[in-house]
Structure 1
Amino acid sequence: MKTTPEHNERMRTMTFAQVYPHYITKVEKKGRTQAELLEVIEWLTGFDAARLQALIEEEATFEEFFARADLNPNAELITGSICGYRVEEILNPVTRQVRYLDKLVDELAKGKKMDKILRAG
């Protein structure tokens, strides 16, 4: 799916630190925990809690965040619609990776089982 250059630039330059508190609020409002959110983020990126905190403190952009990530090989199994876009159709790599994360957070907040979220088979 085609995203606009402006949209891709916004995704690239937004910091993880700007979005992370919203992720926490979203999942906790729906009865999930910050530990579950961290598990989902670690599955996708390979970042443990300490590394994530360091990225937050340095205000890493999403471009830097995903450049340093060890993206899970099963990330390509993340499909579906988020924010009006089909994740699997997004052409820009950084935008697609941000939307992978958004999709996982959304699934967690909607109460999906962890093994399904983590594409465990």
Structure 2
Amino acid sequence: MRQEKVFAMEFARLYPLYLKKVEAKGRSKEELDQVIGWLTGYRDEGLRRQIEAGSSLETFFAQAPRFNPNAALIKGVVCGIRVEEVEHPLMQKIRYLDKLVDELAKGKALEKILRK
């Protein structure tokens, strides 16, 4: 998929897929929201507003209250691509989020996912 299409994708379309993925592995919506909040600074209300507004991924990340500086500690492969080697800043943020959701779904401890 071309980057422009990915950037234009609505976060509201991805969120239920993330939720389904983590719940299928016994994790909770609260844990998913905590992981998203750690990365982006969004809390419950802000996250809900982004979903209701139908914000694109580009807007979702551009309007994030803050982007966690420890995101650079996220390493690994998502869809065959090393997240730490992604050159486009927005695509890297999207891949960081994908990697965190994968780690949550795989049962990794929240403390480790949140790089504490």
TM-score range, shorter chain: over 0.9
1:12 partnered with 2:18: no
Q: Distance in 2 between matches of 1:45 and 1:57?
A: 17
Aligned residues: 115
Q: Distance in 1 between matches of 2:10 and 2:71?
A: 21
- State the 4+ residue runs in structure 1 displaced beyond 3 angstroms: none
1:100 partnered with 2:88: no
Deviation at 1:75, TM superposition (A): 0.5
**1:35-114 aligned within 5 A:** 35-69=30-64, 70-114=66-110
Q: Distance in 2 between matches of 1:78 and 1:41?
A: 13
Q: Could you tell me which of 107, 110, 116 is aligned with 2:112?
A: 116
Q: TM-score, normalised by structure 1?
A: 0.92
Q: TM-score, normalised by structure 2?
A: 0.96
Computed over aligned residues only, the root mean square deviation of the Cα atoms, in angstroms, reads: 0.8
DSSP-derived class of the 2:2 partner: helix
DSSP-derived class of the 1:39 partner: helix
Q: Distance in 1 between matches of 2:71 and 2:2?
A: 21
Gap runs ≥5 in structure 1: 1-5
Q: Could you tell me which of 18, 23, 28 is aligned with 2:18?
A: 23
